[in-house]
Amino acid sequence: MKAPTLSAQRPVQPEATTTQPRKSRLSRKTTLSALLFLIPFAIMFLSMKVAPIFYAIYQSFFKTERSGLGVGSSESIFAGFGNYLLALQNSDFMASFGRVFLIGIVQVPLMLTIALFLALLLDSAFSPFRRGFRLIYFLPYAFPGVIAAIMWSFLYQPDIGPLSGWLSAIGIDVNFLANNMVFFSIGNMMTWGYTGFQMLIIYSALQAVPEDLTEAASLDGAGWWATAWHIKIPAVRPAIILTAVFSIIGNIQLYNDPAILSKVAPGISSTFTPIMAAQQQAAANNYNLAAAQSVILALVALVLSFGFLKFTQRKEADS
Amino acid sequence: MTTAPPRTTVRRPTQSPRPSRMPWRQQRVPFSARTFSFIVMAAFALYSLVPLWWLIVSATKSREDMFTTDPMLFSDFNLWGNIADVFAQQNGIFAIWTGNTVLYCVGGAAIATLLAAMAGYALGKYEFPGRKLVFNIILAAVLVPAILFALPLYLMFSEIQLVNTYWSVLLPSLVSPFGVFLAATFARQAIPNELLEAARIDGANEARIFWRIGLPIMSPALVTVFLYQFVAIWSNYLLPVLMLNNDTLQPLSVGLVNWRERLNEGISYHITITGSLLAVIPLLIAFSILQRYWRSDLTAGGVK
């Protein structure tokens, strides 16, 4: 609600430049046109992005007090930071952060290493069938995540999926849906779905590395690996940072894979990830607590991605 | 871990023919480097393809064969029968889910693209006070993933009684901050100011200039915005799960997951598996055709 009035006030400013009446009329006209183009998006943005956040913040500072014997009459009373305290003391909610952190700290570096390595191979002239491989690697990303999760939930199932059979053929007996294995199972689903996408970002950046640079290095006798390590990887640092940020944000919002796998895997609780934990509070009609948890989640996502960007920028400045 | 082995294997190509003036890219590469590269890339390709192969094979199997035959090999071809079963289930609700998915994804992405094009054009081609501020607010919204808005939206929509309607999923899908960001970046770079000025001198009004000059030039970026938003709506599974109780309003994603967990109520695996394949094929075809639009703009928007 605030922003449109703010920007609507602005067009008045150009009148200050009265010395050039023609130009001021023109700039006022263009400001008006720009506003008209912006308005449809602005209305939707404010009502579908800004308003829900403010509504959640508002809700998070209240609690519902049911009066009488649960006949339906209830009233909201101000709770201050009570819901936030409750959320932070909620062991399910906190444990869910621990889980996504655990998955992220193993899965993200592994996935990015594979993506970077594949991108380097795809960028090397000696690699065969590069076009075909690139298309294949991209396929899982074009595959909708929800369907991928359904598919993997079947693949993990010993009676109709092939995986358990293959592993037991070489003497390994695992149940992908058991308690201790679900971390691996979810990590694998994420790796399958996103490595190709991350690889594509790094690969596109690699293609922009000037040819002279790599040629000069090879004339100096640098091998493939030395060229990659000293020239190419530093040149695509921004792209690698970008993929890391994407992955970190992706982990905080982890929902589809565990939520769908939980339908068949008893090892996945209904509060496995932070979003699932918040959803469960909403389902239990604890709207105020769910609101507080949503706000915490959005804040963590923002702080983490901004923080990571700043951190890498500072490191860049240091070196 | 993965990066250690190539060091010894792939290094050779550049060391032996050192005296040559040809850059190493054009030099003859020893067999070992090619082989190593092929093995690594093929292994990952296999990893990417095996699940898809399994899905295709399984969708052609009858309810019984799925349990008794090798999961990776075809047996009796029963795909048409399975498809008939998918559409017969619950009086053809699969067709309704498909229609809903088209409405949410195609309709939502189309309108979102138009809104993003207009806003991006305004931010990219007009100088006006507050432009930077608006741009930064939109950029911040890009950093908060759409799924994190789902629960707040649900709380808000419950309050105004909008849950369990088409609008509850469609309205949030019309906003694409990332789309505005891409459209603005593209408009700024691709639309020449001279062209706009010339049109203004010829007396065209701003709306007409946008429609006849801005939109056509921006169209490659807009295809990307559309695709991006389409996928974003498809993958935002939490939003329809929260909003829609009525299964005739649900999209394919929610419906198929419900089928997945209702095995005990008589929804056999072959129905869910074949339904999943049917849901995916149009997307895979569309994306193979439109792949270049993904590539060009992921870099345009990303590496900046």
Q: What is the pLDDT of residues B67-93, one digit of tens each?
A: 888 888 888 899 999 999 999 999 999
- Using the Cβ of A100 and the Cβ atoms of chain B, whether some distance falls under 8 Å is answered with no
Distance in Å, alpha carbon of A181 to nearest chain B alpha carbon: 19
Domain B88-302 in CATH 2.70.50.60? The answer is no
Question: Looking at the domain assignment, is residue A140 inside a domain?
Answer: yes
Q: A39 and A163 share a domain?
A: no
Q: DSSP readout, A38-79?
A: HHHHHHHHIIIIIHHHHHHHHHHTEEEEE-TTTSS-EEEEE-
- Residues in A closer than 8 angstroms to B174, CB to CB, are 44, 48
The per-residue pLDDT for range A106-115, each reduced to its tens digit, is 999 999 999 9
> What's the mean pLDDT in A57-71?
78
The per-residue pLDDT for range A250-301, each reduced to its tens digit, is 788 899 999 999 988 888 999 999 999 999 999 998 999 999 999 999 888 8
The per-residue pLDDT for range A130-156, each reduced to its tens digit, is 889 988 998 888 888 899 999 999 999
| Confidence class for position B298, pLDDT limits 50, 70, 90 | very low
Print the domain residue range for A48.
2-60
Q: A27 and A175 share a domain?
A: no
Chain B 60-89, residues with CB within 8 Å of chain A CB atoms: 66-67, 70-72
∠ CA B175-B145-B115, nearest 5°, is 15
| Confidence class for position A12, pLDDT limits 50, 70, 90 | very low
Residue A181 is part of a domain; what is its CATH number? 1.10.3720.10
**Res B295: pLDDT:** 52
**Res B101: pLDDT:** 96
> What's the mean pLDDT in A114-120?
93
- Using the Cβ of B261 and the Cβ atoms of chain A, whether some distance falls under 8 Å is answered with yes
Q: A100 and A29 share a domain?
A: no
Instruction: Kindly determine whether residue A224 and residue B154, on different chains, have CB atoms separated by under 8 Å.
Output: no
Distances (CA, A) of B83 to B60, B229, B268, B276, B300: 9, 29, 13, 11, 41
**Res B302: pLDDT:** 36
CA–CA distance, A201 with A199 (Å, rounded to integer): 5
- Using the Cβ of A33 and the Cβ atoms of chain B, whether some distance falls under 8 Å is answered with yes
Domain ranges of chain B: 1-53, 88-302
In this model, does residue B296 exceed pLDDT 70? no
- Using the Cβ of A175 and the Cβ atoms of chain B, whether some distance falls under 8 Å is answered with no
Question: Looking at the domain assignment, is residue A164 inside a domain?
Answer: yes
**Res B21: pLDDT:** 44
Which ranges in chain B belong to alpha helices (H)?
6-15, 31-59, 65-68, 79-88, 93-101, 108-125, 131-143, 147-159, 166-170, 177-190, 193-201, 206-209, 215-235, 238-243, 252-261, 269-289, 291-302
| Confidence class for position A73, pLDDT limits 50, 70, 90 | low
In this model, does residue A309 exceed pLDDT 50? yes
Question: Looking at the domain assignment, is residue A78 inside a domain?
Answer: no
Instruction: Kindly determine whether residue B148 and residue A40, on different chains, have CB atoms separated by under 8 Å.
Output: no
**Res B59: pLDDT:** 94
Question: Looking at the domain assignment, is residue A71 inside a domain?
Answer: no
| Confidence class for position B294, pLDDT limits 50, 70, 90 | low
Amino acid, single-letter form, for residue B96: I
Give me the number of domains chain A comprises: 2
Chain A with chain B: Cβ pairs closer than 8 A? 326
- Using the Cβ of A291 and the Cβ atoms of chain B, whether some distance falls under 8 Å is answered with yes
Closest Cα to residue A35, out of B203, B121, B179, B172? Answer: B121
Between B65 and B121, name the one with better pLDDT.
B121
Residue to substitute from A30, A49, A232, A276, interface B, most B β-carbons within 10 A: A49
Instruction: Kindly determine whether residue B126 and residue A122, on different chains, have CB atoms separated by under 8 Å.
Output: no
Instruction: Kindly determine whether residue B54 and residue A162, on different chains, have CB atoms separated by under 8 Å.
Output: yes
Instruction: Kindly determine whether residue A30 and residue B303, on different chains, have CB atoms separated by under 8 Å.
Output: no
Q: A194 and A267 share a domain?
A: yes
- Using the Cβ of A313 and the Cβ atoms of chain B, whether some distance falls under 8 Å is answered with no
What does the block give as tokens for A191? 């790796």
Spatial contact of B173 and B229, defined as CB atoms under 8 Å apart = yes
Q: A44 and A98 share a domain?
A: no
**Res B235: pLDDT:** 86
In this model, does residue A17 exceed pLDDT 60? no
Instruction: Kindly determine whether residue B54 and residue A35, on different chains, have CB atoms separated by under 8 Å.
Output: no
Task: Indicate the SS3 state at residue A208.
Answer: coil
Residue in chain B closest to A235 (alpha carbons) equals: B303
**Res B238: pLDDT:** 94
**Of the partner residues B126, B128, B145, the one whose CB lies closest to the CB of residue A301:** B145
**Res B140: pLDDT:** 81
Distance in Å, alpha carbon of B96 to nearest chain A alpha carbon: 18
- Using the Cβ of A152 and the Cβ atoms of chain B, whether some distance falls under 8 Å is answered with yes
Instruction: Kindly determine whether residue B174 and residue A48, on different chains, have CB atoms separated by under 8 Å.
Output: yes
A28-32, B136-140, B193-197, B216-220: range with lowest mean pLDDT: A28-32
**Res A23: pLDDT:** 54
Task: Enter the DSSP assignment of B91.
Answer: G
- Using the Cβ of A8 and the Cβ atoms of chain B, whether some distance falls under 8 Å is answered with no
Distance in Å, alpha carbon of B276 to nearest chain A alpha carbon: 6
- Using the Cβ of A168 and the Cβ atoms of chain B, whether some distance falls under 8 Å is answered with no
Between A74 and B195, name the one with better pLDDT.
B195
**Res A121: pLDDT:** 92
**Of the partner residues A33, A121, A146, the one whose CB lies closest to the CB of residue B126:** A33
**Of the partner residues B11, B23, B269, the one whose CB lies closest to the CB of residue A225:** B11
Spatial contact of A174 and A167, defined as CB atoms under 8 Å apart = yes
**Res B28: pLDDT:** 55
User: Residue B108: how many CA atoms within 13 Å on its side-chain side?
Assistant: 29
In this model, does residue B7 exceed pLDDT 70? no
With a threshold of 0.85, tell me whether the complex ipTM lies above it: no
> At which of A44, A60, A76 does a domain end?
A60
- Using the Cβ of A159 and the Cβ atoms of chain B, whether some distance falls under 8 Å is answered with yes
CA–CA distance, A254 with A221 (Å, rounded to integer): 45
- Which segment, A6-20, A153-167, A205-219, A280-294, is predicted with the most confidence on average? A280-294
- Using the Cβ of B145 and the Cβ atoms of chain A, whether some distance falls under 8 Å is answered with yes
- Residues in B closer than 8 angstroms to A193, CB to CB, are none
In this model, does residue A43 exceed pLDDT 60? yes
> What's the mean pLDDT in B295-301?
44
* Whole-number average pLDDT of chain A: 84
Between B172 and A253, name the one with better pLDDT.
B172
Could you give the angle at which helices A21-45 and B131-143 cross, rounded to 10 degrees?
A: 20
Closest Cα to residue B256, out of A77, A243, A147? Answer: A147
In this model, does residue B272 exceed pLDDT 50? yes
Calculate what percentage of chain A has a pLDDT beyond 70: 87
Between A223 and A102, name the one with better pLDDT.
A102
**Of the partner residues B25, B118, B235, the one whose CB lies closest to the CB of residue A40:** B118
Instruction: Kindly determine whether residue A151 and residue B54, on different chains, have CB atoms separated by under 8 Å.
Output: yes
The per-residue pLDDT for range A148-188, each reduced to its tens digit, is 999 999 999 888 888 888 888 888 888 888 888 899 999 99
In this model, does residue B17 exceed pLDDT 50? no
Instruction: Kindly determine whether residue B58 and residue A128, on different chains, have CB atoms separated by under 8 Å.
Output: no
- Using the Cβ of A215 and the Cβ atoms of chain B, whether some distance falls under 8 Å is answered with yes
Instruction: Kindly determine whether residue A162 and residue B71, on different chains, have CB atoms separated by under 8 Å.
Output: yes
- Residues in A closer than 8 angstroms to B258, CB to CB, are none
